Chain A
Amino acid sequence: MSKPREIRLSTTPAPEALAGLRLGDIVYLDGLLYTAREGVYKRALEEQANIPMELPGQSATNFHCSPAAAIREDGTFDMGAVTATASFRFAKWLPEWMAKTGAKLIIGKGGMSSKDYKSYFVPNGAIYLSTVGYGTGALLGRGIEKVEAVHWQDELGLAQAMWVIRCKRMGPFIVASDLEGNCLFERENAKIAANLERVYEGTRPAVLKRYGETDDRSDEVIG
């Protein structure tokens, strides 16, 4: 059993730094990142609100995350744990978001499909980093140097707000796509699929079918 490589990476990474990453590498991040998920995407893209940050100048890293955080009475922040939410649900907004903000690192849970990677990650020179576990919230929380700001908390609530976080050796994250659009999760699923026929031996499909299902167990289901 080999140990994965560990790499430090900036949240505004140079193209060469991204080119050197391989699927399955472990990454720790330094610099500024922001959280953005459906609330922020809807507000910025569908309602055309002005994004309250200079992107990608300030940060090229979009974390699909709602932190376990509170705003204290004096206006300072109490941020405990941070972990990702599943990214495939945001495929609807991501192409436009990436074009608009120049994001190079998308961090989340579960990755996207290789089709997503090839169609809009690769042209934007971006890759996907997956959180680990899932649920290494306390470890990631230790990587927060400072909560710089929170935007749109009145409009979107604390969970959907845009949190701006300065991080120092925040991690671990796993490289789940590369600049060619290869997908770590699909690679693993293909290996597992080879065994499935044997595992399913002696089982039987339900007598009452349901519409809209797949029986192809190599199907990625998320798309």
Chain B
Amino acid sequence: MISIDLIQKTAETLMDKAAIEIPEDYLTGLQAAAESEDGDLSSFVLQAMLENYKAAKEDRRAMCGDTGCPRWYVKMGNEARVEGGPVALETALRQATANATNGVPLRPNRVHPLWRTDHNNNVGIGAPEIEYGYEPGGDWIDLITVHKGGLFGTDYRMLFPSDGIEGIKRFYLDSLLAFGKRGLACQPAIIGIGLGGSKDTCMVLGKRAACLRVVGDRNPDPKIAALEDEFKELGNSIGMGAMGFVGKNMVIDCNIEVGYCHTGGMQMSVHAFCLSSRRAVARLWPGGRVEYRTDPDWFTPYQRRETIDWPTATTKAAK
């Protein structure tokens, strides 16, 4: 049994870490970008961002004033049991979100879409989102928080098999360009692409590809991995850098996730996880042990299983 108090306390710590500490993989990616950048203005911007990450950690203040929309991904081993059950778990995550919004502080971003009512704590109808995944074996629970920016950099389009890779490339470039101008997407970003599924799951896949995979990670399908490399290169060849200034760094990495779709379609979504790629992860065990990390390790062989059965493999975190 995993203690509910430990879940809430850990969730509050994760909220704080996500808002303040840039994940190591993104930082390494951005440092490499800063070294290669030769546009005057975009180079200045990347240096300022590197200073900003340092200032945030030193002062324990949020990296960015727009602290995004906090959301939760919960992954449970098949043997995990939570004190009070799933309802207690959701209550604890909502309470932690409210407490951290006031404590860090975060910007209370969440409002009613029509009445603009703001509870000043990032909690409301459907907020924060809580999504679930499961893994065979294991009595642990992974708590993952992502505070993704909410306005620019994401688009969806129903493509068809006849659009082919050329059509995918076109929509990818259109998305980068439309949201990259004036830096609305807060690039260079981790670009996530969802292909297939249905409209809603295509969006989910792309968002998870951007937020739940780390820089340098590659899809296990070698042909998709090659596309990821090609798309990263393509995005960086536009000639646009940070803030839409002339530059060569638009994409820190490109991650593609796929799901089986209707035989006549080829859904596509594009998502940008920004210069403040806020994510933090902890694994909790029944005995009270907690381990923090920044790699969500979401896309295991089980999550990507193609048939009824799945390949047996341990998760990265368990290794």
User: CB within 8 Å of B: which residues of A?
Assistant: 1-4, 24, 26, 39, 65-70, 78-86, 109-111, 130, 132-142, 156-160, 172, 174, 185, 188-189, 191-192, 195-196, 199-200, 202-208, 210, 217, 220-222
Contacts and interface: CB of A to CB of B under 8 A. Distances in A.
A139 B56 CA distance: 8
B63 A81 contact: yes
Contacts of B101: 70
A67 B66 CA distance: 7
A132 B120 CA distance: 26
Contacts of B104: 68, 80
B61 A81 contact: yes
A104 to B, nearest CB: 22
A5 B265 CA distance: 52
Nearest to A220: B181
B154 interface: no
B167 A159 contact: no
Contacts of B61: 68, 80-81, 137-138, 141
Interface of B: 19, 38-41, 43-45, 48-49, 51-53, 55-56, 59, 61-67, 101-109, 111, 116-118, 120, 151-152, 157-160, 162-164, 166-167, 169-171, 173, 177-178, 181-184, 186, 234, 237-240, 242-246, 274-276
25 contacts: A4-B40, A68-B61, A68-B105, A69-B105, A81-B67, A86-B152, A130-B243, A132-B48, A135-B276, A136-B52, A137-B66, A142-B55, A156-B118, A185-B181, A189-B244, A192-B238, A192-B246, A199-B239, A202-B166, A206-B157, A206-B167, A207-B163, A208-B160, A210-B157, A221-B178
A73 B305 CA distance: 51
Contacts, number: 223
Given A68-B106, A80-B62, A199-B237, A138 B52 contact: yes
Given A68-B107, A141-B59, A204-B170, A133 B65 contact: no
A159 to B, nearest CB: 6
B163 A80 contact: no
B242 A204 contact: no
A110 B244 CA distance: 9
Contact of A39 (B116, B234, B237): B116
Contacts of A2: 40
> Lowest 10 CB-CB distances: which A-B pairs, in order?
A157-B118, A83-B65, A138-B56, A110-B182, A203-B170, A135-B64, A80-B61, A204-B166, A137-B65, A81-B62
